[in-house]
Structure 1
Amino acid sequence: MTRPAARIGALQFGFALGILALLTRAAQLQIVEAERWQREASRQRTEKVVQPARRGALYDRNGIPLAITQEIYHVGVAPNELENVRSAFGLLVRNLGVPAAALDRELQSGKRWIYLHGPFSATEVQAFRQMRGIHLRGEFRRFYPSRGLARPIIGGLSADRPGGSAGLEASMDSLLTGRPGEAVLLKDRAGRRYDSPGRKTRDPVPGNDVTLTIDAELQEIAERGLDDAIAQMRAEGGDVVFMVPATGELLALASRQAASGGAPSASTFTDPFEPGSTAKLFTAAALLMRGRVVPRDAVSGENGVWHMPVAPGRTRPITDTHAERGRLTLAHAVRVSSNIAMAKFALRLRPEEQFETLRDFGFGTPTGAEFPGESRGILKLPHRWRPMFARASMAMGYEFGVTPVQLAAAYAAIANDGILPAPTLVREVRTPAGELVYRHRPEAIRRVVTSDIAAQLRELLRGAATTAGTGELSQLANYSVLGKTGTAKRFANGGYVDGQYTASFAAIFPADDPQLVVIVKIDNPRGNYYGGLTAAPVTRTMLQQALASRRVAIDRGRMVARERAVPVARTLSAVAASVPPTVVSLPYRAPDPDVRPRPVPDVTGRSIREAARALHRRGFRVSLRGLGRVVRTLPAAGEMARPGGAVLVLAE
């Protein structure tokens, strides 16, 4: 073969080999690695993004939103992409409220991107969803629309991870959190993303909505009443609990603590305190259940000072604020809150019996409510008690600690014919479509005392809240309140602090057909520190305001049926009404000695509660007739009346 022919053959062979290599590589790419490269191409021009799910809402028992999630939008403008700058300018000014002059300056500046300060609602940005040159970025944001109402109980969301970080937002997180969706977005060569209709791979599923037992109206009354009391008494803090005794539903929980700078806290669940004389009723329960005392049994009041033997040659003094010279029955001892008599009666109980009664009433163990981090309180086992004196001390409400919610549940057992209810904050749970997932059913933890003993305990409380008892300032004009005062020295740094006290009051309302249990605790009030002079009047004020509100969960029909209210007009069939009008005379003592006549303020158009508050501030007593908004007063607005006189408020 000649040399040129050989060269041509080699070239042909090389060319054929190259073609074969190309075909082999093409076959490898098209057949063997096709799926891989298709995925890579798809990855470069598409992107999977997670679509967050809307978090479920928290509502009060009447449907008032306490925590909601709304979609908000950030808006950016790319002037070079706008098809009609003037038209877009007008829409942005009208729909988003953007200042015209400022937006015009931005558009004339030649910037390639303008960010509009927002955020904006879905309604506001609706007109821009398909507009070229207007870029929207949406996100979900949590809002608490009720001005911080019950915020420590509701809690909040974590700043550095999804989900709740405190309160019910944390404990109910699995119910409130929805299931995220997934969508596929197309990308251009610059990596800019744009919507691709119809390419969603999974829709997000919103979280469940939770209706709480909280009554927003009553919660506001509790928080405002506590704030006013702390300010007036120059106290360090306090707590308020409202509970339905038959169901365990918690209607209101208010707390203010010095440790948090006087800010709202969750101490109703987390901070135990020594209950003082409010615990005397549990010693009475232990005695009555075991037959260790009968109505005629009496012990000496020791003229106000008793040196109790605690060891051979050693005594401990026990004193009473109200010295009693004679002998005291159990009923008398509870009525005047005698430390001496209750200590003597308590010595008839073995430590194990005293412990069992306190444990049965729910002390020393969490209540099981849905709030995270709930304290179990403090209740030592009997073998750790101090010999002799511990029984007397615990009968006076010392040497064990309870949370306000635990104390409310224990008093609820007395109101509930001896059955201890399980406290709860959750009324029902529903899906976003409204389907019922859960509804609270009252749950009995245990029977603590028999119904007969519970009735006897309520009679003891009736005596304690009368004019002869320490809780007389809790009484309303037309409704009876059962209650017990408490005053305890404060324990700090290993000992009791002189001159510092915790004042408290536990109430059952109304007396003959209980619908509410109320616990009020005031931490270290200045001046008068007795529970009967501090916490009891605060309880009365809150109950007055609750009765004046139409929305608070009080069955006034039941109260009228018991003939404990004064009907406005029986001839108008008030008793047959679903929420019958009543006259509620609100007792009031003028805050200053100025008794000169003054004009009656104009409260027309206000709610009953707002009107009562305004009239109280001016020094007038208030009688209410009707429900709803105030239409007029007698005396009329502007007329002169003396402080301490009654003003009739007519509402409809």
Structure 2
Amino acid sequence: MTTTTETISFLQVRPRRQRATGGSISSGAVKSRVYVAMMAFAFVYLAIGAKLVILAGMEEAPSAAWVSAQDSVSASRPDLIDRNGEILATDIKTASLYAEPRRILDVDEAVEGLMRVLPGLDRAVVRRRLDSRAGFVWLKRELSPGQADAVHNLGLPGIGFLSESQRFYPGGPTAGHIVGSVNVDNAGLTGIEKYIDKEWLGDLRELGFASDRTMEPVKLAMDLRVQHVVRDELVKAMDRFKAIAAVGIVLDAKTGEVVAMSSVPDYDPNDRSQALDQNRLNRATGGVYEMGSVFKTFTMAMALDSGKVAINDSFDASRPIRAHGRTITDFHGQNRILTVSEIFRYSSNIGTIKMMLATGINKQREFMERLGLTRRLNTELPENATPLLPPKWNELAAMTISFGHGISVTPMQTAVAAAALVNGGTLLPPTFLPRSRKEAEALGRRVISEKTSQALRYLFRLNVISGSGRRSDVPGYTVGGKTGTAEKIENGRYVNDKRRNSFLSAFPMDDPQYVVLAVIDEPKPERKGLPATAGMNAAPIVGAIIRRAAPMLGVMPRFGKGEEAIKISY
């Protein structure tokens, strides 16, 4: 029994010792664990700090590239406005997507995320750029706000946005060929946009003075209201006559300002890809064409101004002319002797040739040079084509040139030369920028006499009253003009079923303020049985433009006057 008791006592006491001893061990272990934890945290903080230092070092290189990119995309452009202050072109802010490949943690994740949000990107190109060691690469320029938000929500390291200036054209295609367009870096490509870069804006950009800087707007001579009217009438005429193209120009005859100029099909400068379409070229200044019988206006002016032909002279147009194996006839042959006014009114090729021959072949070439029809026209627009002249200015060439064949010029050159013939005889260089009459007088150059100009105004008005231009007449505005129907050339030969028609006009003819030219390419008869001549399609276009635009230009109608021909003395 005693032994048993002692054993129990021993068993009861031993746990107390173990508890005492266990308490001592637990305290030391706790301290050790605290030290280990402190060291672990210290190590983690040191690792984070080291990583930050490494990342900071990595950012030094791309920082320079980032700054360079930011400078290049933040370059501003001045607003373009019309003569009444309407905005034609302006800058808006947009986001562009870039990457710093060295900061990309997971290329596969980045590629998948970007392709999910921007499926239009080229996967191979994106991967190649993100896999590179470049400091800065572009991924996509000019994102929409929705696209930018979607990419931002991906939360991808190394992917960011730069705010850049994007050009916006509120009027879309209305004045596209005049204002022009810019590239993705906001540098001018065509039209006035390229002109201002060449003149001064390009230098500012190179010097770094064009970044985020507010600039004075650039005002143009164009009237946006009239521009809309011209384009609208051309579009309707193309549909009405099933034509392939058309051109319209409104030129201030007193200053040389281009108030409106449209060439359709045109393009929307907000969509740069359209500008690459050859069918959308600026035919008004960038294309050269045989203008047909409107050139008889220049032959008439030359003959009258030379003093060798008078307004009351007559020429025999009863028989065709044979020259160098060719036979030249009249489309509306009267087969009789015609007066000068009848030659103009009936658009006689035979009579026009005889007037030219009476003046002289050498005089013809000199006169065409005087009107600027043999050299490239200089305007603010870079799109100016060079005329095509005959390889030899011989007798046959002179004959065909007298009625508008054998020489190709731009429609703008035709309008500019015509303005000189009706404004009193002063040739004014055209401009797309505002110009006062005083400034125009300093630039003008006399090419014909006032008396000759008065005779031409008489002939223009007579042709609208009783000639081929009847469908251009607008009551109260004393419209005058000349039709032109030119057969087109295919495979080196004229084809009689494809024509380019035009109507060259001015108003009001007693004191012309504006020249209006309309050209329509390959028009079809409006309905079966009708001809497709210029009097049937080009002349009505001009009449419609004048009817709508004249009140906008401040030209008041004068009813009860102008129904008769302009009076002249001879």
TM-score for both structures, normalised by structure 2:
0.69
Q: Does 1:422 align with 2:429?
A: yes
Cα distance in structure 2, aligned partners of 1:440 and 1:141: 38
Q: Which has the larger radius of gyration?
A: 2
Residue equivalent to 1:72: 94
**Counterpart for residue 498 of structure 1:** 496
Aligned to 1:169: 193
Question: Letter of the aligned partner of 1:554 in structure 2?
Answer: G
Structure 1 stretch displaced more, 47-56 or 354-363: 47-56
Q: Which residue of 2 aligns with 1:511?
A: 509
- With over 3 angstroms needed to count, the CA separation of the structure-2 counterparts of 1:164 and 1:525, relative to structure 1, is same
Distance 1:202 1:482, change over 3 A: closer
Shift of 1:427: 2.3
**Which protein has the bigger strand share?**
1
How far residue 349 of structure 1 moved from its aligned partner, in angstroms, is 2.5
**1:173 offset after TM fit, Å?**
1.1
Correspondence for 1:537 among 530, 537, 540: 540
| Secondary structure in 2 matching 1:534 | helix
Would you say 1:340 and 2:350 are equivalent positions?
yes
The 1:118–1:419 alpha-carbon spacing in structure 2 relative to 1, beyond 3 Å, is same
User: Which one of 401, 409, 414 corresponds to residue 402 of structure 1?
Assistant: 409
Residues 1:251 and 2:259 are matched in the alignment: yes
State the secondary structure of the residue aligned to 2:397: helix
Name the counterpart of 1:577.
Answer: none
1:546 maps to which of 545, 549, 567: 549
What is the DSSP-based 3-state SS (H/G/I as helix, E as strand, rest coil) of the residue aligned with 1:49? helix
Q: What is the match of residue 282 of structure 1? A: 298
1:306-321 matches, cutoff 5 A: 306-310=319-323, 314=325, 316-321=326-331
Aligned-partner Cα distance in 1 for 2:481–2:550: 18
Match runs of 1:171-320 below 5 Å: 171-174=195-198, 175-177=200-202, 179=204, 204-256=212-264, 264-302=280-318, 306-310=319-323, 314=325, 316-320=326-330
Q: Write the mapping of 1:79-118 to structure 2, written as runs, cut at 5 A.
A: 118=144
SS at match of 1:370: coil
Inter-partner Cα distance in structure 1 for 2:543 and 2:412 = 19
**Contact 2:317–2:350 (8 Å) recurs in 1:** yes
Q: Residue deviations 1:255-303, cap 9 Å, x none?
A: 125998796431100111111110111111111122111233212231x
Give the Å deviation of 1:380.
Answer: 3.9
Paired amino acid for 1:501? R
SS at match of 1:286: helix
Q: 2:145 aligns with which of 112, 119, 123?
A: 119
Conservation of the 8 A alpha-carbon contact between 2:415 and 2:504: yes
In structure 2, relative to structure 1, the CA distance for the partners of 1:395 and 1:472 (3 Å cut) is same
Query: Which residue of 1 is the match for residue 53 of structure 2?
Result: none
Q: 1:61–1:390: structure 2 CA closer, same or farther, 3 Å change rule? A: same
Q: CA RMSD in A?
A: 3.7
Select the residue among 47, 60, 67 that pairs with 1:49: 67
Per-residue Cα deviation, 1:131-155 (whole angstroms, up to 9, x for no partner): xxxx974221110111222112222
AA aligned opposite 2:541: V
Q: Which amino acid aligns with 1:348?
A: A
Instruction: State how far apart, in whole Å, the 2-side matches of 1:326 and 1:292 are.
Output: 22
Q: Which has the higher helix share?
A: 2
Q: Which residue does 2:454 correspond to in 1?
A: 455
Determine the structure 1 residue equivalent to 2:519.
521
Alignment of 1:320-469 (within 5 A): 320-380=330-390, 384-386=392-394, 388-427=395-434, 441-442=439-440, 444-466=443-465, 468-469=466-467
Q: Is the 8 A contact 1:242 1:250 kept in 2?
A: yes
TM-score by length of 1: 0.61
Q: For residue 221 of structure 2, what is the amino acid of its counterpart? A: T
Deviation, structure 1 residue 401: 1.0
Q: Does 2:76 align with 1:58?
A: no
Q: Distance in 1 between matches of 2:484 and 2:277?
A: 25
Structure possessing the higher relative contact order (Cα contacts under 8 Å, 6 or more residues apart): 2
Q: For 2:166 and 2:505, locate their aligned partners in 1 and report how far apart those are by CA, in whole Å.
A: 41
Letter of the 2:503 counterpart: F
Query: 1:470 offset after TM fit, Å?
Result: 1.0
- CA deviations 1:536-588 (Å, max 9, x no partner) are 0111011111135xxx33343xx55x98599xxxxxxxxxxxxxxxxxxxxxx
Whichever residue aligns with residue 150 of structure 1, its letter is: A
Residues of 1 paired with 2:178 and 2:190: CA distance?
8
The alpha-carbon distance between structure 1 residues 250 and 119, as it changes in their structure 2 partners (threshold 3 A), is: same
* Equivalent position SS for 2:505: strand
Contact 2:245 2:521 in 1 (8 A): yes
In the TM superposition, what is the alpha-carbon distance from 1:368 to its structure 2 partner?
1.4
Q: Deviations over 1:296-333 (max 9, x none)?
A: 3212231xxx332425xx5x322223221431111110
The CA deviation string for residues 585-617 of structure 1, in whole angstroms up to 9 with x for no partner, is: xxxxxxxxxxxxxxxxxxxxxxxxxxxxxxxxx
Per the alignment, do residues 138 and 510 of structure 1 end up closer, same or farther by CA in structure 2, a change over 3 Å counting?
same
SS of residue paired to 1:67: strand
Once the two structures are superposed, what CA deviation does each residue of 1:426-451 show, in whole Å capped at 9, x if it has no partner? 228xxxxxxxxx99932534211011
3-state SS in 2 of match to 1:389: helix
The 1:284–1:181 alpha-carbon spacing in structure 2 relative to 1, beyond 3 Å, is closer
1:357 Cα deviation from its structure 2 partner: 0.9
Tell me, yes or no, if the aligned pair for 1:176 and 1:208 is still in contact at 8 Å: no
Structure 1 residue 59: Cα displacement: 1.1
Q: Residue type matched to 1:281 in 2?
A: T
Amino acid aligned to 1:152? H
Please tell me whether the aligned partners of residues 276 and 397 of structure 1 are also in contact (alpha carbons under 8 angstroms). yes
Matches within 5 A, 1:35-46: none
Q: What is the identity, as a one-letter code, of the residue corresponding to 1:274? A: E
Cα deviation, residue 118, structure 1: 4.3
Q: 1:82-112, CA deviations, whole angstroms, 9 ceiling, x for partnerless residues?
A: xxxxxxxxxxxxxxxxxxxxxxxxxxxxxxx
Q: State the 1:397 CA deviation.
A: 0.8
Q: Secondary structure at the match of 1:163?
A: coil
Letter of the aligned partner of 1:457 in structure 2?
L
Tell me: CA distance 1:342–1:411, structure 2 relative to 1, closer, same or farther (3 Å). Answer: same
Query: Is the partner of 1:454 in helix, strand or coil?
Result: helix
Change beyond 3 A, Cα 1:565–1:321: closer
Alpha carbons of structure 1 residues 71 and 354: separation in structure 2 relative to 1, 3 Å: same
Q: Which residue of 2 aligns with 1:142?
A: 167
Q: Against the structure 1 CA distance between its residues 162 and 513, is the aligned structure 2 distance closer, same or farther, given a 3 Å change threshold? A: same
Kindly provide the amino acid, as one letter, of the partner of residue 311 in structure 2: P
Amino acid at match of 1:65: I
1:390-425 residue CA offsets vs partner (Å, 9 max, x unmatched): 222111111111111001101110122000111011
Deviation at 1:208, TM superposition (A): 4.8
Contact persistence 1:178–1:205 (CA under 8 A): no
The one-letter code sitting in structure 1 at the alignment partner of 2:176 is R
AA at the equivalent of 2:498: Q
Query: For residue 515 of structure 1, what is the amino acid of its counterpart?
Result: Q
What is the distance in 2 between the residues matched to 1:530 and 1:482? 18
User: Hey, what's the Cα distance between the residues in 2 that align with 1:520 and 1:301?
Assistant: 29
How many Å separate the matches in 2 of 1:565 and 1:456? 16
Report the identity percentage.
29
Distance 1:485 1:318 in 2: 19
Q: Which residue of structure 1 lines up, in the alignment, with residue 37 of structure 2?
A: none
* CA spacing shift, 1:205–1:310, aligned 2, 3 Å: same
